[in-house]
Every structure is written in C-alpha cells, then in structure tokens.
Amino acid sequence: MSKVVTDSNWTEIITPGSKLFDLRLHEVWRYRDLIVLFVKRDMAAQYRQTILGPVWHVIQPVLTAFMFFIVFNKIAGIKTGDTPPAIFYLCGIAIWTYFSSCLTATSNTFVANAAIFGKVYFPRLVTPISIVLSNLIKFGIQLGILIVVMLWFAVTDNYKISIGMHTLLLPVVLIVMAALGLGLGIIISSLTTKYRDLTVLVSFGVSLLMYVTPVAYPMSFVENSSYKKLILANPLSPLVETFRYAVLGKGSFDETLFSYSCIFTVVTLFAGMVIFSKVEKTFMDTV
C-alpha cells in the first residue's frame, strides 16, 4: 500500500523562488513565539553588566529635558506656551526616543544578526519586529515619567490634565510611529549589507532630523518662518504634534498633515518589506 505524502510528514519544505511581492507574512505569524523570545533577549541584553539597569531610561529623558530647557527655553528664548517646559519637553522626547531607537536598531538587523541568520532559518522580519516591540517597554517607562511630572504640576501648580476623545489618538500615533521606524529601518538594513558606512550616516542623520521635527519647540514657533514648509514636509512633524495633542490636549492636530504622515508610513513600510524580503535571500553572500 502506498503512503500519501503530505506537508505534515516533513519539517522543512523546499519551494521555488518567490515572487517580488510574496512577503510571506503568514510565516511571521507562525513564529510569533520567537518574537516574544527575542523581545525578552533584547531587554536582558540592554541591562546586562549595567549598574543602574532600567534606571537609565529615567535618567536619559530627564537630563535631555533639562538640556532642552537651558538651550531652547532660556538661551534661545523659545517658549512652550501655557504648557510647563518640563511637560512639553518630556512629551516630545518620549515619542522621539521611541522612533529613533526603532530606526537605529532595526537599521543594523542583518549585520548585527549575521551569525544567527547563517545557522538557522526563520523569517528574518521577526528580528526587526521584535526590536520595535521591545522598545515599547522603554517608551512605557518614559511615558510613565511624563505622567508623574504632569501629576506633580497638577498638585503643586494647578496644571489641568486633559483627558478626552483626543486621548484616543495616542495608540494610533504610536502604531504609525512604530511602522515608520520599522519601514525606514529595514530599508536601511537592506542597504547596509553592501554599504556598511550607512550605519554611521543613520546615527548622524537621526540627530539632525530631530532639529527639523518639533521636539524641542512648538509648531507655532515656525508659523511665520521660511522653514515652515520644510518642517511640514517632514512626516514626523505631524506625528509629534499629534502625540502632544493626544497626551496634553493642547497644540495642533491637522487631519490633512496626519493623513500625509500615515500614507508616507504605509508606502515606506510596504517598500521596506519588499526590499527586505528580496535581500534576505542573498544577504549572506555580502555580509
């Protein structure tokens, strides 16, 4: 009697080359347990052989906000309106740090994980996705700091905490920001397999990009500036402004600009996944 051969009889199945737009996202879902393991690995690696551990996620935004206060508020004279500077800066720093961390970490995916990629198969997209998720923990800590500072000002300075329909924009902005960081990161990661100096450019570029994003200043500050169009062309600007609006209930929310950021993010993420999927098949020859 002949035996019927099915997929369940094999641990690995060799298939023909995939098409350009065959992203195999179903495989990523099958390996969701591996994503969780990578998130735990990333968190453990961050705090290994450190004295303060997660406390660094508190020190960093606090010191950065203090420097913003000295440079932008006191020296440059850029005011934050009726929002206390500490709250204003911490709010911008929280969402910017999340984006920059996602971008810089995912942009080094192939090079940093070449050893494990060369030994075992799994969907390579699992790694950058796990980085984006692990950075949510850091973001949660910094958002917690912001909430504590807001409560402090509410008690000591009668600061009014605003919670309403605008708060529902918070998870939306976070998802879009994560998708944008992931999309840009995997595009750069695909290019760094051949051009290693792009990693240096990314660190330098992210630092410069912050100055054309309203992190340390409100959009109202550049309202009459000749650089307004440049800042609005930056898809991160509406996201940062919308995040402040969602958390503080103050600032501006432009549906057109926010839609522009969302469309830019979708296109970038899709292009990144296509390029990433193509490069992952041959990257071991160049890394």
Say yes or no to pLDDT of 265 above 50: yes
Q: Can you tell me the distance from the alpha carbon of 273 to that of 23, in angstroms, rounded to the nearest whole number?
A: 7
Q: What is the pLDDT of residue 50?
A: 58
Dihedral sign (CA 250, 252, 256, 259) = negative
Q: Tell me the mean pLDDT in the region 219-244.
A: 88
Q: What is the pLDDT of residue 4?
A: 47
Higher-pLDDT residue of 19, 210: 210
Q: What is the pLDDT of residue 241?
A: 93
Q: Can you tell me the distance from the alpha carbon of 110 to that of 188, in angstroms, rounded to the nearest whole number?
A: 10
SS3 158: coil
Q: Can you tell me the distance from the alpha carbon of 257 to that of 275, in angstroms, rounded to the nearest whole number?
A: 27
Q: What is the pLDDT of residue 97?
A: 93
Q: Can you tell me the distance from the alpha carbon of 89 to that of 216, in angstroms, rounded to the nearest whole number?
A: 6
Q: Which residue type is seen at 91?
A: C
Q: 218 pLDDT band (50/70/90 cuts)?
A: confident
Q: What is the pLDDT of residue 221?
A: 84
Q: Can you tell me the distance from the alpha carbon of 86 to that of 71, in angstroms, rounded to the nearest whole number?
A: 13
Phi, psi (rounded to 5 degrees) for 10: -130, 150
Dihedral sign (CA 185, 189, 195, 197) = positive
Spatial CA neighbour of 129 closest among 268, 273, 283: 273
Q: Can you tell me the distance from the alpha carbon of 215 to that of 203, in angstroms, rounded to the nearest whole number?
A: 17
Q: Tell me the mean pLDDT in the region 164-184.
A: 92
pTM here is 0.84
Q: Tell me the mean pLDDT in the region 8-27.
A: 59
Query: Over the stretch 117-146, which tens digit does the pLDDT of each residue have?
Result: 767 777 778 888 888 998 998 899 899 999
Q: 18 pLDDT band (50/70/90 cuts)?
A: low
Q: Where are the domains of the chain?
A: 21-285
**What percentage of residues in the chain have a pLDDT greater than 70?**
81
